[in-house]
């Protein structure tokens, strides 16, 4: 019996658990969700979680949002640094791995069942074809799975930080609005939790969509305006055009980014959309606009029409993937 310690570290919260390798990596023995803001570093969080837990850990894998180089990562949206060698000393074990959070999410894909996803488009998947993963959350993560002849291997990517490429006149106007304020406008700058307020600001200040006084108060006073915008957009009892158009604009940009990954990595096995934001936006994703914008790639449109698209609804998929990674080593 081998016990696995795994964690999926986001910009806001960390899902962490202990798994029994003989029982598989879908279900943990013990699991918690801890807020990152309550800890000055990851070791403090680990100490808090492991306190009074007497499982003999043999392997550990920690998934973090940021580029991992030689077993070390400085998180993109959190002032933490993780280092495999330091964590080995801290835990007193030799098998410790630090991987990108989207790599972990990718490794969860083979472990997911139908109840863990919602299909947006069935398509015609190519057997053993490359699979793409796009996940807007605190930031915008991307990765992809390639078949090596025996199994799927996850490849990291920081494509979310690639320059935002307008695919329509309205997106071009959005970029023109943002460039005087920020030299590098990435897809993440718009297609993430922190990005949605930038779209909202554009629609308010440049397009001139009306912002009701009550909404102005809520958005101004909120530490994070994104949940306010989304909740108002989802409320069918409130007709608020600026919130609806903000979310729909966000969905269009997500579709463009996902289509870009599809043609870049030839993801004929499918595209999976993950991240904490999307399960709450399913009704918008199921509208025609997402798939229409996804396939708009000129000569490659026919290729993209056959690519299946699914939304990962299991909030612990990244944690499952981190635990699963240790079984590949």
Q: Render pLDDT for 282-311 as a digit per residue (tens, 0 to 9).
A: 999 999 999 999 999 999 999 999 999 999
pLDDT at position 77 over 80: no
- Residue 54's pLDDT band (cuts 50, 70, 90): confident
- Residue 10's pLDDT band (cuts 50, 70, 90): confident
CB of 156 closer than 8 Å to CB of 100: yes
Q: For the chain, give every domain's residue range.
A: 3-107+316-325, 113-313
Judge if 3-107+316-325 and 113-313 fold alike in CATH terms: no
How far, in Å, are 7, 220, 310 from residue 278 at the CA level? 21, 24, 11
* Cβ partners under 8 Å of residue 86, min gap 6: none
CB of 101 closer than 8 Å to CB of 139: no
How far, in Å, are 62, 74, 83, 96 from residue 11 at the CA level? 14, 12, 17, 21
Give me the helices (H) in 109-195, please. 169-178
Query: Which pLDDT score is estimated for 109?
Result: 96
Find, among 6, 316, 274, 288, the residue nearest to 131 by Cα.
274
- Residue 159's pLDDT band (cuts 50, 70, 90): very high
pTM of the prediction?
Answer: 0.94
Q: Render pLDDT for 212-235 as a digit per residue (tens, 0 to 9).
A: 999 999 999 999 999 999 999 999
Instruction: Enter the tokens of residue 324.
Output: 């699963």
CATH 3.40.367.20 at 113-313, yes or no: yes
**Distance between CA 38 and CA 275 in Å, rounded?**
22
Q: Render pLDDT for 233-284 as a digit per residue (tens, 0 to 9).
A: 999 999 899 999 999 999 999 999 999 999 999 999 999 999 989 999 999 9
pLDDT at position 112 over 90: yes
What is the residue-averaged pLDDT of the chain? 95
Identify the architecture of domain 3-107+316-325 in CATH. 2-Layer Sandwich (3.30)
**Distance between CA 116 and CA 251 in Å, rounded?**
21
């Amino acid at each position: 019996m081998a016990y696995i310690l795994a964690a999926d570290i986001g910009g806001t919260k960390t899902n962490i658990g202990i798994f029994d390798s003989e029982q598989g990596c879908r279900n943990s023995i013990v699991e918690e969700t801890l807020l990152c803001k309550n800890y000055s570093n990851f070791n403090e969080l680990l100490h808090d979680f492991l306190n009074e837990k007497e499982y003999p850990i043999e392997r550990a894998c920690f998934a973090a949002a940021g580029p991992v180089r030689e077993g070390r990562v400085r998180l993109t949206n959190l002032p933490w640094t993780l280092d495999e060698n330091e964590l080995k000393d801290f835990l007193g074990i030799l098998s410790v791995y630090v991987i990108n959070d989207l790599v972990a999410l990718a490794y969860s894909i083979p472990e997911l069942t139908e109840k863990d996803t919602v299909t947006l488009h069935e398509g015609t998947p190519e057997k053993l074809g490359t699979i793409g993963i796009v996940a807007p959350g605190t930031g915008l993560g991307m990765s992809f799975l390639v078949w090596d002849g025996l199994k799927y291997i996850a490849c990291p990517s920081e494509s979310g930080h690639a320059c935002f490429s307008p695919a329509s006149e309205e997106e071009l106007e959005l970029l023109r609005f943002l460039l005087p304020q920020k030299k590098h406008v990435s897809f993440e700058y718009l297609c993430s939790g922190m990005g949605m307020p930038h779209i909202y600001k554009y629609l308010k200040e440049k397009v001139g969509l009306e912002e009701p006084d009550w909404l102005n108060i809520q958005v101004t006073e909120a530490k994070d305006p994104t949940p306010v915008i989304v909740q108002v957009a989802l409320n069918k009892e409130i007709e608020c055009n600026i919130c609806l158009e903000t979310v729909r604009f966000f969905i269009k940009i997500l579709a463009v980014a996902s289509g870009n990954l599809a043609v870049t990595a030839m993801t004929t096995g499918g595209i999976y959309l993950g991240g904490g934001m999307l399960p709450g936006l399913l009704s918008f994703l199921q509208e025609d606009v997402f798939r229409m914008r996804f396939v708009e790639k000129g000569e490659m449109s026919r290729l993209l029409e056959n690519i299946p698209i699914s939304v990962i609804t299991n909030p612990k998929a990244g944690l499952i993937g981190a635990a699963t990674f240790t079984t590949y080593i």
